[in-house]
Each structure stands twice: as C-alpha cells, then as structure tokens.
Structure 1
Amino acid sequence: MPGLIHVVDDDESFRTAIGRRLKLAGYDVQTYASAQELLNATPDDERPGCILLDVRIPGLSGPELQTRLIASGSTLPIVFLTGHADTPTTVRAMKAGAEDFLTKPISSEQLIDAIERALARQSAAQAQRRRLDIFRVHLGALTQRERQVFDLIVRGRINKQIAHQLGTTERTVKAHRHQVMEKMQAHSLAELVSIAERLGMLDASDD
C-alpha cells in the first residue's frame, strides 16, 4: 500500500536514514525539521499517508503538534517514534488518537508494520466518511413529509401510529415509507436504523 510518509524529527541524520528506509520500501517521503514546518506545509490528508512524529522536538512538541492537527480537522494518522518514551506521554498520545507509539531504535519490519496499520485505518475512515456524505445527500432529497416519516420509522413507530401522529392515512404513510426506503437506498428497516444512527438522528434518549 503506497503512501506519502511525513517524517517530523529534529535529528537530520535520523531523517535521512528513515527517509532512505521508507523509500526503499516503496513510500514517498517528506521530511520536516520541526512541527511548525509540517504545519506550514499543510499536508493533504486525502492522499494515503501518515505522520511519523518525534515526541521531543524544539518549539512545538510532538504531542502539541498532534493537538494542533486534530483541532485543524486533519485526519492523517500519527505514529509516534521516540527515543524518550514515558508512560504518561504514551497514554495521552494514544487517547488522543495516535496510531502507534514506537521507541527508537526500531527495526524496518516494526516500522513498516506500524505504517501499514496506520494507512489501513486511514483508508477505512475515508471510506466511512464517503458513505456518510452519500447518506447526507440522500437525506437531503427527502421531502419534508418523507423526513417526518423517516424520523418516526427509525424510532420504532408502526404505520398506524405514524398515520395518527401526522394526521394522515396508513395508505399514505406506506407510500411515504416506500419512498424513504428507495431514496435512502435501504433494503431493510435495520439498515435504515443504522443509517439514521450514523447520521446522528438517534441518541440515547430516543425510545
């Protein structure tokens, strides 16, 4: 799985060595001597890739860069690679969504494994976002009445209850229900409920 690896480390010899290893493994590599350099470059997070990030770097630290990137909406996975691993830093970084936390020196095999996992997770997350975008487009195509029927269906209301609540006939509700299933491209009630959950239409207080 090819990709662009962004290496952030203040040690020039390390950047050169890691860059060489990654290029040999078939990756494109971009290196940065500081966190600010990476921020200035605004890396494209739609392209397959990840950030290989040192913890202790002059200026903005690795964890601080992670916080900035998350705040900016970046979805590039981060693999920390450090010579100074301590438990609190590791725990904080992983809780914040880091893909992995590796300690120098590291074998090429360990490094490539971590990068492959990061790229696989990025790919899955992008596919999920694309599906969500499609669901939003479908939702936008519903009429106001179809949207009301959708809201009630996914909350477990039967046609008779929906007809009573909306002041219409069961026959009309059935027609709207059919349109909702068609437009949302759902093949079952369970699938429709799943779509509603992904769109954030249902929460813990829904009965």
Structure 2
Amino acid sequence: MDARAIATVYAINCSDDIGSAEINFLEQQGYQIQLLSTIESLLREINVEEPGCVFVCTKQNEVLIYQLIREFKKRKIPQEIVLIAEHVGIKQAVEVVREGAYTVVELPCSKIILLNTVQETIAKSARKLAKRIELLELTRKFQSLTDDEFEVLEALVKGEGNKQMAHQLDVSSRTIDRRKRALFDKINVDSLADLLLSYIRWSQVDKTVESQ
C-alpha cells in the first residue's frame, strides 16, 4: 500500500508559517494535513497506529518543540517530529535533533524540500511501526509458553542437552522432547539457532519499546 494513502502531516502552531500553497501542494501528493494549535489537541487527534509526521513551528513559542519531544518519548509515539522555523542556527538545530527531533527545516523553503522531508519522516515512522508490530508479535509468542516450556527454553539457552534437562527437571527425555516440540511450534521456528535468535531479540523487546 502506498504510505501516502494513509499518512497524515500534523502541523502545530504553523498557520502563520506554512501557507495554503504548501498545504495544497502536499494534499495534491496524497497526504492528509491537520493544522493544530496546541500539543493537547495533537495528542487527541494523532493516530499512533498509522505512519505520519509532525511539523512544529516555534515562532511564538520556542519551548514548544522540547515539550512535544518529551511527550512523544513518554507516550512512545512513533511519528517523527520536524522543527519548522526561520533563521535556525546550527547550535539550535543540533540541540533539537539531539533531543529527539528528526530534522529541522529552515523557512523559507521550496515545496520540494517540504515534500522530501515529509516522505523521509513518514517512511521512518512506518519502519518504526512495522518494527513495533513485529516485536509485539514476538512478545505474544513467548508469553504463550507454559512454565514447563519456558524452563526448557532457559535450559536450551544455557546449552544444556536433553539428558541434563530431564535430570534437572525430574522428567523423562520423552517429556523434554514433547516440550521442545511445543516450544518450537509456538515460537514458529524450525531450528535451535532460529529459536535462540528469536529469544535474544525478545529479551531486548522491553528496552527497545521503552526507547521509542
């Protein structure tokens, strides 16, 4: 599906900075444009399940961009933030990007620069959404394991063989085989190597999601 068909550009405090010609141009490219005046209104309107980007204009409120970045981090919102401003100094641009904005666009700018920025930020937010969905699915699979199956998983991670597992868990080798088959089926892998790779990725899921 073309990302533009469902992508939205949210613009906060930008009515005096982005003109109707630029808005019409982006709409002609297939993007939806929402003009908003406050962070609160953005948080009510933004759809975190769809790719998009957020333009923030700070002519009358220089701290707005930092407030928004903090809110996005706290709420783990995947859309990318772009600062739109006149006469942006290098120091300010570096600081804003370091804090978490995707990029800075200095006004006045051409429609092509505006379009390229939208395309890049929406593409990145789409990748973040896809990664989040993949990690959530991985989490669902591992959480579906029973306690017995998880014990076998932990033993496999440690490199233990069937006999050692059977002895430590006080069960038969046949029971270990049955639990291993269930484990492989639930995680949907065909080899021990794939299982261990999935486990490593899953063990990092919480940290990955928290950092988004």
CA distance in 2, matches of 1:161, 1:96: 50
**Which deviates more, 3-12 or 139-148?**
3-12
Give the match's secondary structure for 1:31: strand
Runs of 5+ in structure 1 lacking a partner? Answer: 203-207
Please report the TM-score for the alignment, with normalisation by the length of structure 1: 0.82
Counterpart Cα distance in 2 of 1:59 and 1:13: 14
2-side partners of 1:156 and 1:169: how far apart?
A: 18
| Residue number in structure 2 paired with 1:71 | 74
The equivalent of 1:142 in structure 2 is 145
- 1:143, distance to aligned residue in structure 2 (A): 1.7
> What's the CA shift for 1:179?
1.3
- Kindly, what percent of the aligned residue pairs are identical? 23
* Match in the other structure for 1:193: 196
Match of 1:152 in 2: 155
Answer with 149-158 or 172-181: which moved more: 149-158
1:22 Cα deviation from its structure 2 partner: 1.2
Given the two structures, how large is their TM-score scaled by the length of structure 2? 0.80
Q: Which has the higher contact order (CA 8 A, sep 6+)?
A: 2
Of 12, 15, 21, 2:16 maps to 12
CA contact (8 A) 1:35 1:59 kept: no
Contact 1:154 1:189 in 2 (8 A): no
Find the aligned partners of 1:57 and 1:191 in 2 and give their Cα distance: 53
2:125 maps to 1:91: no
**Contact kept? 1:162, 1:173, Cα under 8 Å:** yes
* Higher share of residues assigned helix: 2
Counterpart residue identity of residue 130, structure 2: A
- For the pair 1:62 / 2:49, whether they are aligned, the reply is no
The answer on whether the counterparts of 2:10 and 2:33 sit within 8 Å (CA) in structure 1 is yes
| Matched residue, 1:31 | 35
Separation in 2, partners of 1:32, 1:45? 16
1:65-96 Cα deviation digits (max 9, x unpaired): 12122212322111222224233433333234
Give the Cα–Cα distance (whole angstroms) in 1 for the partners of residues 11 and 183 of structure 2: 47
- What is the match of residue 205 of structure 1? none
Q: CA 1:152 to 1:86, structure 2 compared with 1: closer, same or farther past 3 Å? A: farther
2:49 is the counterpart of 1:46: yes
Could you tell which deviates more after superposition, 84-93 or 138-147?
Answer: 84-93
Q: For 1:54 and 1:195, locate their aligned partners in 2 and report how far apart those are by CA, in whole Å.
A: 42
Q: State which of 76, 101, 105 in structure 1 corresponds to 2:104.
A: 101
Q: Which residue of 2 aligns with 1:120?
A: 123
CA deviation string 1:170-192 (max 9, x = no partner) = 34322211210111101222322
